Amino acid sequence: MSSILKIALVQSNFKVGDLKYNSSKIIEVIEKAKIKKLDLLCFPEMAVSGYPPEDLLLSNAFHKQIKKALNNILKHTVGITCIVGHPSIKKDKILNSASVLRNKKNIGTYNKNELPNYGVFDEKRYFSSGNEIFNFKIKGHKIGLSICEDIWINESKYLNKDIPDLLLNLSASPFTINKQKQRMSIIKNFISKSKIPVGYCNLIGGQDELVFDGNSMFLNSEGKVVGCAKSFHEDLLVTNFPFKNIKSVKTNAKNAKVFDALVLGLKDYVSKNGFSKVVIGISGGVDSALVAAISVKALGKSNVLGIAMPSKYNTKISNTLAHKLCANLGIKLKIMPIHELFDLNLNLLYENIFQNTTWDITEENLQSRIRSNILMAISNKMNYMLLSTGNKSEMSMGYSTIYGDLAGGFAPLKDITKSMVYKLCISYNRANPKNKIPNKIITREPSAELKHDQKDSDTLPSYEILDEVLNLYVEKFGTVDEISSSLGLSKAFVRKIVNSIQRNEFKRRQGPPGVKVTDISFGKDRRFPITNGFENF
């Protein structure tokens, strides 16, 4: 005889490595769930350790403390069943595990079978595969467990064996623009073949370059969503099983919430690294404007400091727009002109070593680096994290100064193309009519303003075209031939862009982390050699 089961998916924000914080948080949720008389709690993949713990997994001290944390959690499981994700060690093998804890006993552990080892994932570096399925009984129901990638790949393991009444999947699935759509299709495909209802519990929160978006769900045996948690916020998704025959719930599938991902990614990177404030070089251009808007949403306006550092090449309108932006957003702006520092640097260089040379890109980079020195001094003295404002289009082409505008603790726009920067500004303005980014910032022609009358278009192809090439080359691994015929561009033109992306790997390698939102971001996701003689034909 089975009776009604009160289940909750616990969509919480954990901290990688902070086992005390994570276990206290888990215990807090358990104690509240007892009051609510819940039967079963499901936490996300690796809740105890945070995800991904990377090489912490190779440390004995780490595994010892994981065991301690699990024992502490265990003490709180009287009268309730909790499924907790954690790393474990069995016969010298490291496993990605989910343990079922009940009445102070571990009543069974499932070990992840499918270990992703592509893109940002390195699970085969650490884990051995579990190679088994696992079910347990509660109130007459048979519950099966799987972990993240398992449901993406090996649904067949469940189809002909010991079929559960409900499959719970513990995930740590990072956000990308297309991810929720992909997840829905994967999970619905699993259900259409197996007829097993699913509870999908995903992590939320930022961890270095990843943002986990939550969107935990219950789906019935017809593949209808019968419950859905928030995206980008902590949530507790409670339901009764068997599910009532209700209409399917609206999900967030079609909303590519890039802005929310950037806000959460920045907020968590700053706070989890012990900062509360950020400093931004405000140029009067669109990138720094968007970074400022994201920062205000993430940290509050009193925690965002703008610094404008005009040189003789900055137009008056840039200065005006910087002021207007900061007034609109309600953040402080300091003006620190760099003319004198620039001249003194040039004197020293031209007297000692640049005799008989002429102005080139050196002088442009120098201005950018004088600015980053000022910003880093403010960061050091006043404990503001410096944000780099470069976008993906610039970084792909090396249109940024290493140790200059590329400098910073975090680069919120690292995976945002210039085209997407404009889109995000426009949608931000629509949603925030009282704190707008001045329209002129969005409509003016982009310029680095490092020499007289400079425009980005002097050096770069139009961003519209560049961003299409970028997408096909970086995210779709297109060849020069494929890209040029697909976009109707000359091969020589595409080849120039593609080789430029390759040649600038050395700069990106020394750049700050930033939130991944596309299918392939620069970072752990894309591992090209710096020393690379490949010529794209």
* Contacts to a second copy from residues 322-361, by CB under 8 A: 334-336, 340-341, 344-345, 348-349, 352-354, 357, 360-361
Catalytic residue among 148, 201, 326, 425: 148
The CB-of-498 to a second copy minimum distance in angstroms stands at: 9
CB atoms within 10 A of CB 492: 9
State which amino acid sits at residue 308: A
If you count DSSP H runs as helices and E runs as strands, how many of each does the chain have, helices first? 19, 18
The CB-of-516 to a second copy minimum distance in angstroms stands at: 14
The tokens of 518 are what? 């596309």
Cβ distance to a second copy smaller for residue 248 or 373: 373
CB atoms within 10 A of CB 69: 22
**Does 362 contact a second copy by CB under 8 A?**
yes
Contact pick of 179, 272, 324, 516 for a second copy (by CB under 8 A):
272
Site size for a second copy (CB under 8 A): 87
Give the residue from 85, 89, 87, 112 showing the smallest Cα distance to 99.
Answer: 85
Cβ distance to a second copy smaller for residue 433 or 477: 477
187-246 residues near a second copy, rule: CB under 8 A: 206-208
106-132 b/e (C-beta count within 10 Å ≥ 16 → b)? eeebbbbbbbbeebbbbbeebbbebee
Cβ distance to a second copy smaller for residue 25 or 141: 25
Candidates 223-231, 321-329, 485-493, 507-515; binding stretch for a second copy (CB under 8 A) = 507-515
Candidates 89-97, 367-375, 435-443, 485-493; binding stretch for a second copy (CB under 8 A) = 367-375
The CB-of-358 to a second copy minimum distance in angstroms stands at: 10
Distance CA 404, CA 104 (A): 55
The CB-of-272 to a second copy minimum distance in angstroms stands at: 5
Catalytic residue among 25, 42, 45, 82: 45
Cβ distance to a second copy smaller for residue 340 or 445: 340
The CB-of-501 to a second copy minimum distance in angstroms stands at: 12
The tokens of 295 are what? 């920062």
Residue 209 among the catalytic residues: no
348 burial via Cβ count (<10 Å: 0-12, 13-18, 19+): exposed
Distance CA 415, CA 36 (A): 42
Cβ distance to a second copy smaller for residue 376 or 465: 376
80-139 residues near a second copy, rule: CB under 8 A: 117-118, 122, 124-125
Contact pick of 153, 376, 442, 465 for a second copy (by CB under 8 A):
376
Angstrom CA distances, 207 to 49, 173, 388, stand at 12, 12, 18
Beta bridge partners of 239: 7
Residue 329 parent element (H or E): helix 316-329
Look-up: residue for tokens 């996701």? 525
Give the residue from 365, 369, 367, 413 showing the smallest Cα distance to 393.
Answer: 413
Distance CA 48, CA 360 (A): 53
The tokens of 94 are what? 């490291």
Contact pick of 191, 329, 407, 466 for a second copy (by CB under 8 A):
407
Residue 86 parent element (H or E): strand 81-90
**Does 44 contact a second copy by CB under 8 A?**
no
Distance CA 260, CA 262 (A): 5
Distance CA 432, CA 256 (A): 18
Residue 201 among the catalytic residues: no
**Does 430 contact a second copy by CB under 8 A?**
no
462-481 residues near a second copy, rule: CB under 8 A: 477, 479-481
The CB-of-106 to a second copy minimum distance in angstroms stands at: 23
Cβ distance to a second copy smaller for residue 265 or 461: 265
Cβ–Cβ < 8 Å for 172, 148: yes
Cβ–Cβ < 8 Å for 469, 494: yes
480-499 residues near a second copy, rule: CB under 8 A: 480-481
**Does 521 contact a second copy by CB under 8 A?**
no
**Does 365 contact a second copy by CB under 8 A?**
yes
The CB-of-354 to a second copy minimum distance in angstroms stands at: 6
The CB-of-419 to a second copy minimum distance in angstroms stands at: 24
6-35 residues near a second copy, rule: CB under 8 A: 15-21
Residue 148 among the catalytic residues: yes
**Does 64 contact a second copy by CB under 8 A?**
yes
Write out 23-37 in H/E/C secondary structure: HHHHHHHHHHHHHCC
Which residues form the catalytic set? Answer: 45, 112, 148
